[in-house]
Chain A
Amino acid sequence: MLKTFKLGGVHPPENKISREKSIEVLDLPKKAFIPVGQVLGAPSVPLVKRGDMVKVGQLIAKGEAFISANIHSSVSGKVFKIDDIVDSSGFRKKTIIIDVDGDEWEEGIDTSNEIIRDISLSKAEIIERIKASGIVGLGGATFPSHVKLMVPKGKKAEVLIINGVECEPYLTSDHRLMLEKTEELLIGTKILMKGLAVDKAIVGIENNKADAIEKLTKVAKDYAGITILPLKVKYPQGGEKQLIKAAINREVPSGALPIEVGAVVNNVGTTYAVYEAVQKNKPLVERIVTLTGKSLEETANFLVRIGTPISNLLESKNGLPEDTAKVISGGPMMGKTLTTIDAAVVKGTSGVLLIPEKESKRIESSTCIRCGKCVSVCPMGLEPHLLEKLVQIEDWEETQKNNVMDCIECGSCVYTCPSYRPLLDYIRLGKSKVGEIIRSRKK
């Protein structure tokens, strides 16, 4: 029997229609829009100003706070201006806009395809390099990766878990990466193991990606300490806590980080970025983005420079289909609907999904019938129906007591609710209110 996590979970249709599409390099944009807030943490501070010439890989915004990350130019050219424009979050954010001119890289960056296997950097140097390269969690959470490697005093990392689950329907960027950059990925894993000083790593992959499992298992034979672990398909297995439960059968307590149980989780995209940063001195300036949707003539997995407008991805595949009602950044379960397709690809953009008119409508909700389905599918053991009520009556204290902050916004509850209650809308509101209260208490 294949392993999986125990509590809750659902099985949405997989719809991985772009799974056979090899990674294709997208043309450079004419203008790159690079927001300075691309990390789960403090926005970075711009280092360039209007008129400055920049090269690919040049540091253009510095992450100064502890939880923040550097941002490098993904193109070469002239800084057009720094302005507030709408990004994929739906709000205006400070953005560095660069007029692209040629493709000139900073010196010392190895852009060749040659695979470098020897890891020459020391543990401390690895962490320093990851920090300097501005690497954040590419699975979508965008937590700065170097912070994960800095194990707090009194805690000990025992095992590294590489997240190749990709449980979101439609998305295939991680799948393609595992197939096409297999060896680099394993070297990246080795680097992270060295950075954490652990000798064990587990790569968790759902078994709907049999080809990736097969290939990785074959290549991993040469890499001591790395196990490839096929997992049963179940959403949201890609959640950190769910994956830890599935892979090593440990439970991360409410409010705690994975390191509490000796685990550190990194996504495969992140691991590949680590390989490039450490072995090739290449900062995080591009990522793989799936372009998908049933109405598209042709889907794709693109290698895209950060800051490329999402409209460019669409244009390269015949533009926006007529019946598109929503364009989502990310997958159908956890993604966010864009308010403009001019929003740029950022470090956390794993995919662009088009939803046709007939599938986009919200079904009108009726009253909660107390069936308990939302409770039984919640992977965090919450009571979504109760949280919804508590938020509606604005009882923030009880909302907090019922662990609203544990919600990973996976949407399983909404997916199963037979009354189509907008549970997550209210839970998100509750999280933001309770978060505000917690922060103000700390001050």
Chain B
Amino acid sequence: MILYSIISLGVIGVISAIILFFVAKKFNVVEDPRIDEVEEVLPAANCGGCGYPGCRNFAEEIVKAESVSGFYCPVGGNDVMAEVGKVMGLEVTAQKPLIAVIRCNGTKKNSPQKSIYDGIESCAVAHNLFAGEGGCSYGCLGLGDCVDACDFDAIHMDPETGLPVVNDKCTACGACVEACPRDIIELRHIGPKAKRIFVSCVNKEKGAKAVKNCKVACIGCGKCEKVCDFDAITIENNLAYIDYEKCKLCRKCVTVCPTNAIWEINFPLKKVKVDKVKRVEAKVEKEKKSENKTDN
């Protein structure tokens, strides 16, 4: 009796051992030492800006893919990516660095307040409740969800305008883009000498309605699209968009925009613009004078 037990148990043991041996072979995981090495050179911000849950995960995916194309750590930038390339023994093409831009210029002046919101300070909550104090249901609510989302102290509210402002601490992690319930923030090329041109408006209403609430809204007139020699501008749903890959920063569109919805940043002041201003001022003067005359 005992013999039977010993033999059967022994046989089961041997079979199990054989199965386990093969299973272990088949599912053997040798962790690639490069994962650790890649993680080492990453900034350990764990911000998720790369699109992965954390730096470790990002490293794992790079090693698994045996490639660095399509991977980019916005916080570390090109320097860190070059390091990663060294570890992986791969060539890394440098990417143009990005920065967050605020595509709304509905300041207190441009989009005067029509109602007072006294609810809690949260754009997400207010977005559910009403169009906004200025009446634009696309524009910035000014309650700073983006500011709260930034881990890098790169975005602040300007009390004067009521709009957020991004400074050069921005790592383009994209947290603010995610946080904004109105999709106002976009990551764009910093541009040579930090020069950028973009449409500072996201209002999709027809022109006449858009300007009712905000003087500087894009009215989708298409003048910029026509004047652009590089096919960089498209108009969709009454809203212009400038593709930063195609834009050559020629500034033509900026001058033709009737509502000044296109912004140019870090450019020297254009002469024509000054002329234009002067001409307008002269005209106003003239009108004033003639008014005075009729008064007398």
Contact = CB atoms under 8 A, between A and B. Distances in A.
Interface of A: 84, 86, 89-92, 339-340, 360-362, 422, 425-426, 428-429, 432
Contacts of B122: 425, 429
A425 B120 CA distance: 8
Contacts of A340: 114-115
B130 A339 contact: yes
B127 to A, nearest CB: 9
Interface of B: 114-115, 118-120, 122, 124-125, 128-131, 135, 137, 205, 209
12 contacts: A86-B131, A90-B130, A91-B131, A92-B205, A339-B131, A340-B115, A361-B118, A422-B120, A425-B119, A426-B120, A426-B125, A429-B128
A91 B131 CA distance: 5
Contacts of A90: 129-131
Contacts, number: 42
A87 to B, nearest CB: 11
A340 B129 CA distance: 14
Nearest to B136: A92
B115 A422 contact: no
Nearest to A433: B124
Contacts of B124: 429
A335 to B, nearest CB: 13
Contacts of A360: 118
Contacts of A339: 114-115, 130-131, 135
A92 B120 CA distance: 22
Nearest to B129: A90
Say what secondary structure dominates the interface of chain B.
loop
Contacts of A362: 118-119
A84 B130 CA distance: 15
Given A425-B120, A426-B125, A92 B131 contact: yes
Nearest to B135: A86
B115 A91 contact: no
A340 B209 CA distance: 17
B119 A428 contact: no
A361 B116 CA distance: 12
Contacts of A91: 130-131, 137
Given A339-B114, A339-B115, A362-B118, A429 B125 contact: yes
Contacts of B135: 86, 339
B219 to A, nearest CB: 15
A428 B127 CA distance: 11
A84 B205 CA distance: 10
Contacts of B129: 90, 428
A364 to B, nearest CB: 11
The listed residue with most B CB atoms (<10 A of its CB), out of A91, A92, A360, A428, is A92
A362 B205 CA distance: 33
Nearest 4 interchain pairs by C-beta: A90-B130, A339-B115, A422-B120, A425-B125
A89 B131 CA distance: 9
A69 B147 CA distance: 43
B139 to A, nearest CB: 13
Contacts of A361: 118
Contacts of B120: 422, 425-426
A325 to B, nearest CB: 9
A422 B119 contact: yes
B210 to A, nearest CB: 11
A253 to B, nearest CB: 27
A428 B120 CA distance: 12
Given A86-B131, A90-B130, A339-B130, 4 more contacts: A84-B205, A339-B115, A361-B118, A362-B118
B136 to A, nearest CB: 10
Contacts of B130: 89-91, 339
